[in-house]
């Protein structure tokens, strides 16, 4: 069905510039259209806020914040924003138009993807989010609907409508914005959102790409939320046998329920993703997935292409500290006791009696009162109007619009604002959309632009205290990175970006560098028994974790096959060193090379995974293998040495 037939904007010229051609999608906050910029003659996407929301300063501020945030990023994997404006009741963003489809469309059509394809999509997504994180922003609504795949193969992240400065308060009303299937546990519990919540969502998206299904499901959003809080995301290989353990570990790392265990931002997760890719062979990267299909979507029109209630960006209530008594409202007419008929006496039959004159008179009086009230409402309704949309308009434009509506400007106030440009309306009293008597007066609040604040000196302060001081100064704590320091104790701030004393607009993000303490060399425990290796590392001040999966290696069974971080690297006291245990070398069949030339025999044995040693009795007389230390057809440990000998005279 063509959903654009009844859309009043299709075919119109918005703001004297943008010709609206077709509706692309509809969401809870805005509608997205394909349009043509008649000045520059280019196709673009218009994101238009629903007129009913344009009277809400909170939604308009979020819209403007999205435009400014994305414009600052300027990254090839982020959907660009060209312009922002308003035309009457329509507040809009003009954005880059990406011809193609969303990742949700791909998953719905194909189901699970090959690991190579999943990583090819994940890496540019993380690059885009990494740019946002390092600029001090959190996306807060990562999901397949917001990953666009162009016809030319480019991957772009869209819909920064929920973006906030890192560390800024995300909730004050006991609710949290987001999409149920991709919410991190800390978002559900206390509304907290930082770079690690985006990392969690990306881990869920990766799981979905590898398996074709979401890790948590349920009949209601509440059931999905419960699983996020109480169950780990399962290993993708449990749903798709044969997937490499490196992919299981990548998903587990990104979706750890404890945010402290996750990579601290998308840049760090990108590094782990590239390490996982490098560890996989072509056969593992191109593993064909089974025919796993996502559930068919419900008929829910949404700008994000949502497929069900758990996929829609929504406001989700969080548990309040104490139970609240429900408030019941009623709109029925309460009849006074004097007008209620008397209750029948118990155990006596009631008789039908003629109504008394007093009761009739009282009922007539009530009806007359109701009639008069209805008449007064009818007469007065024509004496009221609604305050027009004024937010974002210049003072002159706002006054002209009020005059056209038959209203006066009562007064003008000015206040600082980082969301509204200097000289534009940031608020009105009464607010836009409220009813006011004809010829009434409206007070305008005009933006003075952002107030300038200075970055405080936070060196040596504990991280929590530093964040409080930034918030008190009117700034937002930004991305937190860690570095070794010989003179700043572990957990305290080494420095900030920008530096102390730098002037910034209010709510600007300030990145913090926190000390990991003095660097400690990681000892080499490869080949040691696990018990000995654990003791060595703990004595050096590290925490030890043993990987659940064992691997074949040249080390004896039960010894440490590998460690991370490896020998020669540095780490901080308290950091975790992960040990992978060997289950012994793999036994491999030895090729029969007797009668072959030495060079051919060496190549064949090395290709089978062995080391080769050559012994020649008479080096200048013979080059043919006469015997080998392990006969052909027998098995030997992979990586062991096979000795070959040449014939004598």
Catalytic residues, which ones? Answer: 141
Beta strands in 400-475 (DSSP E): 408-415, 425-429, 435-437, 441-447, 453-454
- Residue 559 has phi, psi (to 5 degrees) of -90, 165
CA distance 517 to 572: 6
Q: Which two tokens stand for residue 195?
A: 């770079």
3-state secondary structure of 518: coil
CA 173 – CA 623 distance, rounded (Å):
84
Coil vs helix vs strand at 314: strand
The length of the chain, given as a count of residues: 649
Q: Strand pairing of 509-515 and 476-483?
A: parallel
DSSP state of 420: S
Question: What 3-state class would DSSP assign to 567?
Answer: coil
User: Using CB atoms within 10 A of its CB, is residue 573 exposed (0-12), middle (13-18) or buried (19+)?
Assistant: middle
Task: Give the rounded distance of the alpha carbon of 2 from its chain centre.
Answer: 32
Rounded Cα–Cα distance for residues 71 and 78 (Å)? 10
For residue 389, the 8-state DSSP code is P
Q: Whole-angstrom Cα distance, residue 523 to residue 537?
A: 7
CA–CA separation, 36 and 80 (whole Å): 16
597: DSSP letter: B
Residues 6+ apart with CB under 8 A from 280: 115, 244, 246, 247
Structure tokens at 352: 């039908």
Calpha distance 522→519 (Å, rounded): 9
Instruction: Give the span between the Cα atoms of 148 and 104, in whole angstroms.
Output: 9
Neighbour order of strands in the sheet with 81-87? 13-14, 18-26, 30-37, 42-49, 90-96, 81-87
Residues pairing with 316 in the sheet: 176
8 A C-beta contact, residue 640 and residue 612: no
- Name the CA dihedral angle for 460, 466, 469, 474, rounded to a multiple of 10 degrees: 130
Quote the CA–CA distance of 42 and 80 in Å, as a whole number: 14
What angle (nearest 5°) sits at the alpha carbon of residue 131, between those of residues 142 and 481?
100
- Element of type H or E holding 190: helix 185-190
The phi-psi region of residue 639 (left if phi > 0; otherwise alpha if psi is between -120 and 50; otherwise beta) is left
Residue given tokens 């189901």 in the structure block: 111
* 491 sits in which H/E element: none
């Amino acid at each position: 069905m063509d959903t654009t037939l009844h859309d009043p904007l299709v075919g119109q010229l918005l703001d004297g510039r943008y010709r609206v051609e077709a509706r692309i999608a509809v969401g809870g906050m805005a509608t997205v259209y394909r349009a043509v910029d008649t000045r520059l003659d280019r196709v673009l996407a218009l994101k238009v806020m629903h007129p009913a929301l344009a009277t809400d300063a909170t939604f308009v501020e979020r819209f403007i914040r999205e435009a400014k945030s994305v414009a600052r990023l300027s990254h090839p994997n982020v959907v660009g924003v060209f312009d922002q404006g308003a035309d009457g009741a329509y507040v809009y963003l003009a954005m880059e138009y990406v011809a193609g489809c969303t990742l949700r469309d791909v998953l719905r059509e194909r189901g699970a993807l090959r690991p190579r394809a999943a990583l090819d999509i994940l890496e540019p997504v993380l690059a885009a989010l990494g740019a946002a994180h390092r600029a001090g922003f959190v996306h807060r609504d990562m999901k397949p609907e917001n990953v666009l795949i162009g016809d030319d193969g480019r991957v772009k992240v869209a819909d920064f409508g929920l973006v906030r400065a890192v560390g800024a308060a995300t909730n004050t009303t006991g609710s949290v914005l987001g999409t149920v299937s991709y919410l991190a546990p800390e978002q559900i519990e206390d509304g907290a959102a930082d770079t690690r919540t985006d990392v969690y969502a990306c881990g869920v998206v990766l799981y979905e790409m590898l398996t074709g299904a979401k890790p948590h499901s349920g009949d209601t959003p509440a059931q999905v939320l419960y699983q996020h809080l109480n169950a780990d995301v399962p290993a993708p290989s449990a749903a798709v046998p044969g997937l490499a353990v490196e992919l299981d570990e990548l998903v587990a790392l990104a979706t750890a329920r404890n945010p402290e265990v996750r990579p601290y931002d998308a840049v760090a997760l990108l590094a782990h993703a590239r390490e996982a890719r490098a560890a996989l062979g072509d056969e593992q990267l191109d593993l064909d997935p089974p025919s796993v299909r996502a559930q068919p979507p419900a008929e829910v029109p949404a700008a994000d292409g949502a497929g069900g209630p758990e996929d829609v960006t929504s406001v989700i209530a969080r548990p309040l500290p104490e139970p609240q008594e429900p408030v019941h409202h009623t709109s029925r007419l309460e009849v006074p006791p004097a007008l209620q008929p008397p209750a029948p006496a118990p155990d006596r039959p009631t008789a039908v009696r003629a109504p008394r004159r007093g009761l009739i008179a009282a009922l007539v009086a009530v009806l007359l009162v109701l009639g008069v009230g209805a008449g007064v409402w009818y007469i007065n309704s024509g004496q009221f109007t609604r305050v027009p949309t004024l937010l974002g308009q210049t003072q002159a434009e706002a006054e002209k619009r009020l005059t056209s509506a038959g209203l006066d400007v009562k007064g003008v106030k000015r206040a600082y604002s980082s969301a509204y440009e200097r000289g534009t309306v940031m608020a009105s009293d009464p607010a836009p959309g409220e009813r006011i008597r004809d010829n009434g007066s409206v007070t305008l609040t005009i933006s003075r632009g952002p107030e300038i604040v200075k970055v405080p000196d936070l060196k040596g302060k504990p991280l929590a205290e530093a964040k409080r001081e930034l918030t008190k100064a009117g700034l937002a704590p930004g991305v937190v990175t860690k570095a070794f320091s010989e003179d700043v104790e572990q957990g305290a701030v080494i420095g900030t970006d920008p530096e102390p004393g730098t002037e910034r607009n209010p709510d600007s993000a300030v990145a913090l560098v926190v000390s990991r303490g003095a660097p400690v060399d990681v000892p080499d425990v490869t080949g040691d028994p696990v018990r000995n290796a654990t003791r060595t590392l703990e004595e050096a001040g590290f925490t030890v974790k043993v990987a659940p999966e064992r691997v074949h290696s040249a080390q004896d069974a039960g010894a440490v096959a590998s460690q991370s971080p490896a020998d020669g690297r540095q780490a901080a006291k308290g950091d975790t060193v992960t040990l992978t245990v060997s289950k012994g070398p793999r036994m491999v069949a030895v090729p029969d090379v007797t009668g072959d030339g030495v060079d051919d025999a060496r190549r064949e044995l090395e290709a089978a995974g062995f080391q080769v040693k050559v012994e020649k009795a008479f080096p200048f007389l013979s080059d043919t293998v006469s015997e080998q230390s392990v006969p052909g057809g027998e098995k030997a440990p992979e990586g062991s040495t096979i000795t070959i000998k040449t014939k004598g005279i």
